[in-house]
Amino acid sequence: LQEQSDEHEHDGRPAWNSKLQYILAQVGFSVGLGNVWRFPYLCQKNGGGAYLVPYFILLILIGIPLFFLELAVGQRIRRGSIGVWNYVYPRLGGIGVSSLMVCGFVGLYYNVIIGWSIFYFFQSFQYPLPWSECPIRRNGIVEPECEKSSATTYFWYRETLNITSTIADSGGLNWRMTLSLLAAWIIVCLAVIKGIQSSGKVMYFSSLFPYVVLFCFLVRGMFLKGAVDGIAHMFTPKLEIMLEPQVWREAATQVFFALGLGFGGVIAFSSYNKRDNNCHFDALLVSVINFVTSILATLVVFAVLGFKANVMNEKCVVENAEKILGYLNSNVLSQDLIPPHVNFSHLTSSDYAEMYGVIKIVKEDSFAQLGLEPCLLEDELNKAVQGTGLAFIAFTEAMTHFPASPFWSVMFFFMLINLGLGSMIGTMTGITTPILDTFKIRKEVLTVGCCIVAFLCGLLFVQRSGNYFVTMFDDYSAGLPLTTVVILENVSVAWIYGTKRFMQDLEDMLGFRPYSVYFYLWKYVSPVCLLILIFASVVEMAISPPGYNAWVQDLAMERFQSYPPWALAMCFSLIVVAMLPLPLVFIARHFNWLPDGSNKLSVSYRKSLAKEASTLEDETRFILGKNPSEAPSPMPSHRVYLGPGSTSPVELITNSTSISGYGSGYQTNPTPPKSES
């Protein structure tokens, strides 16, 4: 225990105040907006309850093992993403830089979504809600764009985004969204300004509050008419869809993003842990919490969408019944076609369906001219919505029909802000931790600097055409680079560093040997799954034309448009820039253009081992670092990686070698260790 406390004294690294704070931080980072607006959509699109099967299988094959791997390397090496991968295999040090680049790109647009949520949050403090009905012009005419679409769609595209019709037309800055983005960056900056000391405290609220809201919505949703229809629709398994490759690809991608793999946030958070922390338990716990949250959010979304489908279906029945009455009065239709028990003043969906069926059979030739709709609940439920379409259009529309709608709207958007904030804290930590480990910069100065630069870059997304750029960054900046980063993480630990060595490391660190199934998952299963995923992603990008859904004001509807050449170049430059550090660092280290002390360390150490006739196992133990109490080592294992500015150990040790110029070196002792007897 004394040795353990010395470790924190010497490396000067901050530590979590409690285990709960750390778990909440990991949960807050992994549970984000995707759980609420992407997972339910994928469920609906990919076979309802049947989708949970491939998702759960891939969570076990890819998700948990790789999440455990990231937690373990961060905790073992006690560095951010750059330091960790420089330690494991310096030539693949570019992994950490690529992680940082992806974090930067994602953070830029992710905070814009928090900005939108802040705008809606403040707009919710009024009754009736501003998106509950269409605005009326001075001459008494309803706004045509709103009439052609819907009140919530109009409020989103015109009042909130004031969107242009193409990505080429920037339309200038939208000042309301600019202020919202500024507010979002100020909140994020205040949350992370003191590192884990401030963000850890914020996490108590931002990680737990969304669960309170989800449970409130679930309980409220269950009492809404049609909620059961929505949930039944969601959980009805369509088993034939489950065998399609597309379903598995989307499930793998969702597992990947849900746990925040490859971003560096997971590694950064775990690097502040004590070295004997049980990270295997943490990996299982956070993965299970994430999965359960996704199911909880899906229940809430489908309960509310079931209610909305019911409302829209009743509206459809009323509108079409009025058409039928008009045809009856003008003798276009005969009264004989109407079943005797049908009462137009209390018309049910089943009555309308029966009436519709009779008219369709009898008036087969002229039926199309009547313009009647079938008004099926199933059709409404099949209208799949995701992302902003779910949060800012479908869900907001459903909430306008709630009793006390402003209260529920305030709660919903406050939940979105907190979900986004938890993920943004992890993303920012993934950026700041590696930089702080590398350079001697004050934490506060770096955080404020990052937030100012990010806000200025984020102005791209608060132009009137900004939503199109959010879509572009979402589609291109993370997917392929992130998958590449994770497969290289996997390969560098399992194949270069060695799975057996890593398992031994874990045993020394945890006090028990992890299940041998991890050996096979890390070495064979995960890399193969990731290779298939990369191949599928490349094929998908090649097949589907790159483009975006533009809002056409005159038609009041979305229309797919291809990217112009400059935007296409921007899409691919996002992928290239994020992946460029990987080959650059590899080449630079291969030709010794970039300082790298790891080779010198291993050579000098081998010489000392030869003199002492040590075994190869001793060398491995030195490189990996045994627990202080177990094996003598040229340096105390709790100083494997000294923090920037830790000068006292350097004074004690005459021969110090800095690895790759990262300001924190492996220390070598001039006196070789005595071999174990």
Question: Which residue positions form the known binding site for Na(+)?
Answer: 28, 31, 35, 290, 419, 423
In 3D, which of 473, 459, 396 has the Cα closest to residue 121?
396
Could you tell me if 22 and 283 are in contact, meaning their C-beta atoms sit under 8 angstroms apart?
Answer: no
Name 519's Cβ contacts closer than 8 Å, sequence gap at least 6: 499, 500, 503
Q: Binding-site residues, please?
A: 28, 31, 35, 290, 419, 423
Report d(CA 562, CA 568) in Å as an integer.
9
User: Is the bond preceding 128 in cis, omega lying within 30 degrees of 0?
Assistant: yes
Q: Name the CA radius of gyration of the chain, rounded.
A: 29
In 3D, which of 68, 113, 122 has the Cα closest to residue 423?
113
Could you tell me if 455 and 167 are in contact, meaning their C-beta atoms sit under 8 angstroms apart?
Answer: no
Return left, alpha or beta for 268; rule: phi > 0 is left, psi -120 to 50 is alpha, else beta: alpha
Identify the sign of the CA torsion 167, 171, 174, 178. Answer: positive
How far separated are the first and last CA of the chain, in Å rounded? 25
Q: What is the dihedral of CA 390, 393, 398, 399, to 10 degrees?
A: 100
Report d(CA 192, CA 532) in Å as an integer.
37
Report d(CA 183, CA 267) in Å as an integer.
28
Following DSSP, what letter does each residue of 81-138 receive, concatenated?
A: HHHHHHHH-GGGTHHHHHHHHHHHHHHHHHHHHHHHHHHHHHHTSSSS-TTSS--B-T
